[in-house]
Every structure is written in C-alpha cells, then in structure tokens.
Chain A
C-alpha cells in the first residue's frame, strides 16, 4: 500500500466504470475499516469515471466525513467536471488537489493544526 506522509494512497489507472468499480470500493473500504481518517486517491492516470466510480467516492466520502476526508489527486478536466456536477467538490468530506505536493501541503497543515490543539 502506497502512502503520502503516512496517509494511505490508492493509485488508480485507466477507466473506472461499472465493470471494475467494485474492486476500488473493496480497496477503499478496507482502508477505512482499518481506521484511516484521511484517504488519498491518485487519479493522475485515471482516464474515465462513470456513476459506478462516483458512487464509490460518494460512499467513501460519507464514511470519512465525520472525522476526516477523502482526497483525489490530479483528476483530468473531464473527471473533475463530473465530480462538480454531482456536488462532490463542495462536500466537506471531499477534497481535490492539483498534484501530490499540494496534497502533501494540505496534510502538513492538518497535522500542524492537530499539534496546536
């Protein structure tokens, strides 16, 4: 399992559709079941997403929302547009980052905030 600053990172690629989103759901559920509060998904090599994949993100986001969030890194413009249409971009349990350094910066901010409190 890859990670970024100790946060689990799922690296996905290709088309995520109804035929294979079950595998993504299983992987994400396992990470959340293990107690992760923040999960990152690298979308830089994801070419396509349909409602099957969106549903996995929505349910993961719902589970993470109370104590953490789901972060998607570098979705292409078309995928990002879909995330916007279904309202994920304004969900408090969901974040989008342009690249890995941006995600790392957000994680550093979150960690230092925890130290302050």
Chain B
C-alpha cells in the first residue's frame, strides 16, 4: 500500500482573507489528505489545525481585500500545510482574547499536529506551518 503513495506532492491555493473561505480551505485539506491516504481522523485534525491558522491569519489581515496562501507539501513522509498571510503581525491582546476564540486556536493546533512552527515573513506577514508525520501511527513492517 505505502509504495503506491506519491513520494512527493506540492499543492497550493490562494483564497480571500475571510472566514467565508474556511470551508474552501477545508475542502483543499481534505483532498490532499485523501490523496496521501491519511485516515479520516488525521484528516479531521488537519482540517481543524489549518482552519485555525487561517482564522488567525484573517484576524491579522483585518480586511477581506487581503489573501491567504495555503500550501501543502509532502516530503520525506512528512505532510506540511503552510498558511501565509500578508497582514501586519499583531501580538495577542488579552482584552481581545477574552471575547474571541483566538486563545483556543493555538492550543488546538499544538494538540492536533506533530509539529507547529511560526515564522515572521520579510513583508511583515506570518507563516504558520502544520505538520503530520505519515509514519507516526503505522505498525512496523512484518
């Protein structure tokens, strides 16, 4: 089975920085997840984590005119989704966190993913990378 999986893939979409685009992003995640034969539970985890990263990015962007780049890359049996926004980075504000769900997004990403990294991009945007290791739950070869 594993031999039939694509050794490497690279997919990307660009969507508006709006919560209305979250469903489209989840469909993209699902398509990639199915392509690399992830189980449904791991696909759900990725949908939540990528969706949370995008929701954060929408807050950073602050307006619908901006766009989000979501890219999926499978390399060395590690599937990584990277969400890049072009908005100005805003540090978390305690006042805002009380009334939004922003305080929950990051813990969820960390709980559901094998690896989460944040990188400030040169243009002042933020890139969030969310990875799952495809071999994590696989039983050893017979």
Contact = CB atoms under 8 A, between A and B. Distances in A.
Q: Do A and B interact?
A: yes
Interface of A: 15, 17-19, 21, 48, 50-52, 54-55, 58, 77-78, 81-82, 85-86
Interface string B107-130: 110011000000000000000000
Contacts of A21: 101
Chain A's interface: helix, strand, loop or mixed, by majority? helix
A82 B55 contact: no
Nearest to A22: B19
B104 to A, nearest CB: 4
Contacts of A77: 41
Given A18-B55, A51-B104, A55-B100, A82 B48 contact: yes
16 contacts: A15-B26, A17-B23, A17-B55, A18-B55, A19-B19, A48-B26, A51-B102, A52-B55, A55-B100, A78-B44, A78-B45, A81-B41, A85-B108, A85-B112, A86-B104, A86-B108
B47 interface: yes
Interface centre among B101, B111, B112 (most CB of A within 10 A): B101
Interface string B36-63: 0000110011011001100100100000
Contacts of A54: 101, 104, 108
Contacts of B104: 51, 54-55, 58, 86
Interface of B: 18-20, 22-23, 26, 40-41, 44-45, 47-48, 51-52, 55, 58, 100-102, 104-105, 107-108, 111-112
- Name the prevailing secondary structure of the B interface residues: helix
